[in-house]
Amino acid sequence: MTCRTLSPCLILSLFTCFFIGSGSASGQGWPDIFAPDLLLTLNLELNSSDWNIILNDETFEIERPALFWANGEEDNKLFVSVRRKSGDPIPSAFGGDGVKISLKIDINQYIDEQEWHGLIKLSLENGDDNNVLTEGIACNIHQMASGPQGYGYDSWRGNWVKLYINGEYMGVYFNAEQLDKRFMQNRGVYVWHETWLYQYRGEYNFTLEVGDDLNPRSPAVNELCYLPFPYANPSSPLHPEGGLCLAPDDAGLVTQLNDLINMNGMLSMAAVNAFVANPDSLFSHQRNSHFLDFNLDNPTETRKRRYYPWDVDASNQGTDFDIYGGSSPTEYQQLIFGNPTFRAQYEQIMCDLINGPLSQANILALIDAIEPVLIQAVADDPYNKLGTNDVAGVAEEFDSIRSWYVDRIANVIAQVGCVFDFDGDGIEDSSDNCPYTYNPDQSDADDDSIGDDCDKCVGTCPCSAANLDSFDPIDLNDFTILTGQWQQSAANLPGDINGDETVNILDLEILVYYWLSSCL
C-alpha cells in the first residue's frame, strides 16, 4: 500500500494483515473457492518420470496420473490427471532452468462424478506473458464488472494458489476458473441440447467446447453469417448452413445483434479488456474468449448469447492503450464501434464502470486486500517474473500496479470524455465538495473544501467523531470499522470521520491522533 505518513501506514498494515488471512479449503465451495483473498496451498504427487514427460511435452496433450490435495486435505487425496498447457515455462530470475509451467488438472478423468469443491477441472496459469499478479487482478476486475453496470451476469472468477509438486515449491499460480460444463452448471444455465459453449481460437475460428456434436451449430451461430462472427471455413460443421453473407446496415445490425446477443455483456467484456489494456482479447485480437448460446428456437427461452473473457495474461500494457483499437482496428472494432448506437453504448458502459465498480477506490481496495495475502508467497516464488525474491521488491510491484491503474483510469476517462455527477446536483464530481450528497449551492462555511451538507467537522474534528462504534475508548473496534471501509466513497460512511465522503488517509490520521491522545 502507498503511504504518505509512516505511523498511519504501519497501523493500517497491521490491522489489514490481522483481518485478512490465507484461509483454507475446508468448507469452501464454488464460488467461495475463488475468493481473491483466499490463498490455498495445492499439492501434486506423481512419478518423477511422469513429471519429466509433462515438463517436456510440447504437444500439450500428454496426461499423467497424480495424487492431488490442498493443505488440510491430506486424508482425502484425489486421483487426477495432469497435463501441461501451452505457454512458455518460466526460468528463475536468478539463473537455472525454468520448470514453472501452466497446468491443467482434470479432477474426474479417472473417477466419474469426482469433484473438488464444486469443480471438475483446474487451470493453473504460470503468468508467462506478464506475471500472475497482473493476470489475476485483471480477472477479478472482470468479476467486479459482473453487476448491473456491466455484464449483468456472473462473468468469470479466479484467484491465486501456491503449488508444490513432489514437495518442491513451484511458486504462485493464477487459479483460473475453467470454462466448461461445470462452469455453466454452477451458474444454472446448462441444459442438454439447449446450450452451446464455444471458445474462440483465432480469426473466424472457434470450437464447440460443450454441446451436442451431432448438432454443433446453435441458432445464433447459423444466423450470424457475416464476418467477423462466423466460422469461415466452409468445410467445418460450424460454418453457417447458408454460407457467408453481407452485414446489414447500421439499423439492421442493431436490431439483429440485440435479438441474438446480450450486447451489454459483449460490450462490457470489450470495455473491461480495453480498460485493463489486454491486447490479446476478442475485440483486440479476435481470440481468447468464450460465448454461450441458448436455443432461441425454443419459445420459452429468452436468454441471449453471453460472452466470457479468458486468458488475460497479456494485460497491463501501456496506460495509453487505445480503447477503440487505434490506427489498426480489428473487424470486431470496425463493425461494432463503427456503429453509432453500439459505440455510444460501449462508451456509456465504460463510464458507468469507472464511476461504479471499477472506480479507483474499489480497485485500490482489491489490491490492498490481496497484497498481505500474497506478498510473502510471491517473494518466495523463484519464478515470479518480478526480478526479485524479497518482500520489499514485491511490495514495489504492488505499488507499481496501483500507480498503473490510477494512471489508466485517468487515461480512459480522457479517451471517452466521461463526465461524472453521482448525486445529480449539476456539479461534476471532480469539482463537487459533496460528490455523493445533493448540494447544488456548494456552501462551505469553514472553507475546508468539504461542503456544509456533508461536513462532519466544522473546523477541528471533535473527539467523538473518531469514536466510530460509539463505545469508549477509541480502540481496535474503531480501526476495524475504518479499515473495513478503506478507500470506499459514499455518503454517510461510518469510517468517513471528516465527512469528505471518502474513507482515506485523512480519516486514518484523525483516528490515530485521537487514539494516541487517549481521547474519550
**pLDDT digit string, tens, across residues 400-453:** 999 999 999 999 999 999 988 878 888 888 889 998 899 999 999 989 999 999
pLDDT value, residue 488: 82
Give the lowest-confidence range in 99-108, 242-251, 320-329, 424-433. Answer: 424-433
CA angle (122 as vertex; 119, 127 as ends), nearest 5: 145
C-alpha to C-alpha distance for 512 and 466, rounded to whole angstroms: 9
Reduced to 3 states (helix: H, G, I; strand: E, B; else coil), residue 314 is coil
Q: Looking at the predicted structure, is the pLDDT value of residue 5 above 50?
A: no
Band the pLDDT of 1: cuts 50, 70, 90. Answer: very low
Burial class (CB in 10 A: 0-12, 13-18, 19+), 495: buried
CA gap 452, 432 in Å, rounded: 12
Q: What is the mean pLDDT of residues 57-75?
A: 97
Q: 265-319, pLDDT tens digit by residue?
A: 999 999 999 999 999 999 999 999 999 999 988 888 899 999 999 999 999 999 9
pLDDT-derived band at 463 (thresholds 50, 70, 90) equals confident
**What is the value of pTM for the model shown?**
0.81
Q: What is the pLDDT of residues 163-193, one digit of tens each?
A: 999 999 999 999 999 999 999 999 999 999 9
- Return the SS3 of 366: helix
Nearest one of 5, 44, 7, 39 to 25, comparing CA atoms = 39
- Which pLDDT band, with edges at 50, 70 and 90, does 52 fall under? very high
Query: Would you state the pLDDT for residue 3?
Result: 39
- 517 vs 515: CA distance, rounded Å: 5
> What are the residue ranges spanned by the domains of the chain?
1-23+456-520, 24-137+150-181
Distance of CA 13 to the CA centre of its chain: 24
Position with higher pLDDT, 491 vs 235: 235
Cα torsion for 191, 61, 69, 65, to the nearest 10°?
110
Assess contact for 98 and 383: CB atoms under 8 A.
Answer: yes
